[in-house]
Amino acid sequence: MPKYLYHATPRLNAESIARNGLEPRSVGGESAAYLCMSGKESGAVTLKNQASDILFRVDSANLNAEAWSERGAGKSEWRSTDGIPPVHLEYRRNLGTASQKTWRKASAYPLGV
């Protein structure tokens, strides 16, 4: 498992994630809802065809590695039915100034946005 897993989202969703954490919501082809993260920062911002300006990351040391599995063709996609509480999340802008691209604890959101 990579040191960090990443999740990109439009600004519209970022405040809720910073407050509530990341929850399993995807269901594509699985029997239960799952959380989808990328093992690569670049992969997180290219998984969908929408503007995902806020990037969240979690240090994988804070995760139950047994609950995560790697999927996807070359995208380093990781899935789990576990959620990630906000205390373990950091965020930054994907696009913007150097200051806006500084990693911050989710509890500081929307500082730097």
Ordered by start, the domain boundaries in the chain are 4-96
Number of Cβ within a 10 Å radius of residue 14:
22
Is 1 within 8 Å of 37 (Cβ atoms)? no
The CATH number assigned to the domain with range 4-96 reads: 3.20.170.30
Instruction: Please tell me the number of Cα atoms within 13 Å of 34 on its side-chain side.
Output: 17
User: Is the pTM for the entire model greater than 0.85?
Assistant: yes
Cα–Cα distance for residue pair 49/110, rounded to 1 Å: 24
Sequential pLDDT tens for the chain (113 residues)? 999 999 999 888 999 999 999 999 988 777 889 999 999 988 887 655 455 689 999 999 999 999 999 987 666 899 999 999 999 999 999 888 899 999 999 999 999 88
Pick the closest to residue 54 from 82, 4, 17 (CA basis). 17
